[in-house]
Amino acid sequence: MKIIINDTPKDTYVALTEAMSEVFKKIHDRDVFLAVSGGNTPARLFDLWVYKYEHQIDWHRVQIFWVDERCVPPGDNESNYRMTVTHLLSKLPFMQKHIHRIHGEASPQEEALRYGEIIRKLLPWEEGLPVFDLILLGVGSDGHTASIFPDDPVLFSQNEALCDLETKVCYDTEEFSSEKPVCRVTSKPDSGQKRVTLTMPVINNARHVFVLVTGADKQEVLSQLFNHTPVSATYPASFVNPRSGKLIYFVDREAATPPVKPES
C-alpha cells in the first residue's frame, strides 16, 4: 500500500488523476476498464476531469462501470449513475456503448446477476475473475467501502446460523473464494436500503485500486486503517488488498491529521 498526502482536496484530485492518466497511457492496444464510485467526493473529482482533463485523457477508450449502486431509479437524487451523468458523462466524450450502468430500478438479485454477467463478458480474466484496469474507491467514516458495510453479522458473527452464502462472498474469504461472484446485493445498516456492489474478490483482482479520502471526518478511520489497529479489522476497507495490483491511497492533509506517515 502506498499513501500519497496532498495539502488540499483539489491537489489530491489532481494527484489521483495524474496517476490515473499514467495507467491509461500504458494501455495501448485496447479499451481501458474503469469502475467508479458515487458520493460527493467523486463528484468533485469528476468536475476536475471536465475542467482540466477533457483533452488530456482519451475518454473514447474508457469503458466505465460502477463499483456499486443504490437500488433506486436512474433519475433519483441518490443514484450514483445520475451523479456521474451530471458531473461527468454529459460533459466528456464517452462513447455511449462504453457506459455500463447498474440498473438500480430492477430487482436487486436479478440485477446483481445481470451486471456480473456483463462484466464477465467484457473484461479480461485472471485467476477466475474479471480484471479491471482501475477501480476508484472511497472509505466511509464507518470504514465501509463500495457497498460493503461493517458490523455485518455474516462476516463477524460466530453464529453460523446467521451466515448466508450470498452476503459472505462479498468478502475475500478463503472458504468461499471458489464461488467468486462478481456482484452481490447488500443493505445499508441504518436504512436497510438495498445496494448492488462489486465483491471484494473482484476489487482485489484489479490491476490498480485508488482510494480517495478527503476531509477531517475521515481522520479517525484512516488512523485506524493505516496503523493496522484491532478496530481496523472490523472495517471492510481493511480487506482491500489487491492480489497482484497496486493499492494507492490519495489523502488530503485534513484527513491525514493526526499525521500519517506516507508509505512507499
Cα dihedral: 184, 94, 246, 243 (round 10): 30
Q: Which residues of the chain have pLDDT under 70?
A: 151-179, 258-264
DSSP 99-125: B----TTS-HHHHHHHHHHHHHHHS-E
The residue type found at 173 is T
Secondary structure E strands in the chain = 2-6, 32-36, 62-66, 68-70, 125-126, 129-130, 134-137, 183-187, 194-198, 208-213, 246-252
Bridge-based pairing state of the strands 62-66 and 183-187: unpaired
Phi-psi region of 215 (alpha: psi -120 to 50; beta: other; left: phi over 0): left
pLDDT at position 218 is 96
In angstroms, the CA 158 to CA 28 distance is: 48
Name the residue type at position 40.
N
Environment class of 125 (CB within 10 Å of its CB; exposed 0-12, middle 13-18, buried 19+): exposed
Looking at residue 13, its amino acid is Y
CA 80 to centroid of chain Cα atoms: 12
Q: What is the tens place of the pLDDT at every residue in 192-215? A: 899 999 999 999 999 999 999 999
CA angle 76, 71, 219 (to 5 degrees): 85
Give the closest residue to 214 by CA, choosing from 12, 43, 52. Answer: 12
Identify whether 150 is preceded by a cis peptide bond (ω within 30 of 0). Answer: no
Retrieve residue 122's grid coordinates.
Answer: 467484457
CA–CA separation, 256 and 162 (whole Å): 36
Per-residue pLDDT at 183? 93
Predicted local distance difference test score (pLDDT) of residue 7: 96
pLDDT of residue 17: 98
